[in-house]
Amino acid sequence: MKCDALVIGAGIAGLQAALDLADQGKQVILVDRDPSIGGRMINLSKVFPTLDCASCITTPRMASVAHHPNIKTLTYTEVDSVTPVGPRFLAKVTKKPRYIREDLCIGCKRCEEECILYLSDEYDHGLGAKKVVSIPFTNAIPQLPVLDMDECMLCGACAKACPTDAIDFMQEPVHEEIDAGTVILATGYNITPMDAKRQYGGGKLPNVISPFMAERLLAPHGPYGGVMRPSDGKIPSSIAYVQCAGSRDASIGVPYCSRVCCMYAIKQAMLLSGSLPIADITIYYMDIRAFGKGYEQFYQNAKAMGIEFVKAKVAKITEDEEHNPIVRIERQEGTSAPEEVKHDLVVLSLGMVPAWVPDRDGIIPLEVGADSFVRTPRLTAPNLTSLPGVFAAGAATGPKDIVDTIVEASAAAMEASNYLEACAK
């Protein structure tokens, strides 16, 4: 396969970069390791500061990419290596088996209906269940199921139900090569692990949850159809956010600010107070970093709505016998003695780490910073990497919110198309 630009990662950054290249007439191949395009953003409930539903912003972009004549999308595909060849690049990719014949599948979901085995659903961050063979989520693109061969008991019910004989238990990985003129890395982020901090329960307290889980609880098509806590389904009446639970903390190797956690916590708090009007919501914080356009006003609105902001670093989280989390804090306003506060549900405002680290994960020889994000050596061309012809955008180069990510993705598309222009000369 040959293309002008290879875009790695089909989250919001990759989608935007691909569109801005394709709209200039460039031929783009967009690769993602997940079975659907859409990345992290499609998984969120609503997004700050406009409170648009995340799907409303993401799905149209996904559809534009899917229908664009200049974009070819490869989902469920791993990039094994990218090697510079002169000014161009040779990428080796592996298409993982879905155990579904893509050319035959019509997305009717009969296989999913017939399948009798349930698995924990990673799209709902373990809060919901999915079938062993299933389309990842309602608005996934492409609308193709994936069969989890590790869990499948090969009963054949799906194959019998399939009207087009698309189930293929023998499917093998397919290796392909892509010859690309330029490469854009839009490889995104992971959140810091729940068990990174032992003092916060090490991921073992059922009612201490991650911000992604909170997003799913708040999403209209979320696993419980409402906000309930995991241990017993109780509707929480007291919810706390622990800020900097995975950032500004050298002890877990993340000394930097993750840039989005203040705002997503405030946003989730606002959404929670919308769906649970009588719940008390507390945000324990060090500094509220509402720095973006309209963000400070958003923060002040949250305060006016009655969300309580307490300047305190949380030392420890334990639980009582009913799994109610107990947060040990020292307030910096009022009294100075440490105190313990019981909540029904605690959300850890976890930080951002790179989803893909070049020198750890191999693939492409790029320099990274001390924070493991891709290094961008030039202030005035912030998408350039240490390798000419390879550009990076979004959270690949450091924690970033959606607004800044989308702008950067467009900027990377500009640099990439100018690299192609220069090579053509």
Which is closer to other proteins, CB of 8 or CB of 262?
262
Q: Could you tell me the smallest distance in angstroms from the CB atom of residue 281 to other proteins?
A: 19
Which is closer to other proteins, CB of 130 or CB of 259?
259
* Helix pair 261-275, 295-304: axis angle to 10 deg: 40
And the tokens for 18? 């691909």
And the tokens for 274? 């919308």
Q: Could you tell me the smallest distance in angstroms from the CB atom of residue 382 to other proteins?
A: 5
**How far is it, in rounded angstroms, from Cα 250 to Cα 241?**
20
**How far is it, in rounded angstroms, from Cα 93 to Cα 32?**
10
Q: Could you tell me the smallest distance in angstroms from the CB atom of residue 173 to other proteins?
A: 26
Which is closer to other proteins, CB of 103 or CB of 335?
335
Q: Is 336 exposed, middle or buried (0-12, 13-18, 19+ CB in 10 A)?
A: exposed
**How far is it, in rounded angstroms, from Cα 393 to Cα 10?**
12
And the tokens for 216? 């799913």
**Nearest alpha carbon to residue 381 among 365, 373, 392, 366:** 392
**Nearest alpha carbon to residue 101 among 190, 163, 19:** 163
Which is closer to other proteins, CB of 319 or CB of 419?
419
Q: Could you tell me the smallest distance in angstroms from the CB atom of residue 107 to other proteins?
A: 8
Single-letter amino acid, residue 39: G
Q: Could you tell me the smallest distance in angstroms from the CB atom of residue 328 to other proteins?
A: 18
**Which residues touch 75 (CB under 8 Å, ≥6 apart)?**
10, 32, 34, 35, 36, 37, 142
Which is closer to other proteins, CB of 89 or CB of 295?
295
Which is closer to other proteins, CB of 196 or CB of 244?
244
**Nearest alpha carbon to residue 10 among 26, 43, 27, 33:** 33
Which is closer to other proteins, CB of 216 or CB of 343?
216
Q: Could you tell me the smallest distance in angstroms from the CB atom of residue 198 to other proteins?
A: 23
Q: Could you tell me the smallest distance in angstroms from the CB atom of residue 320 to other proteins?
A: 29
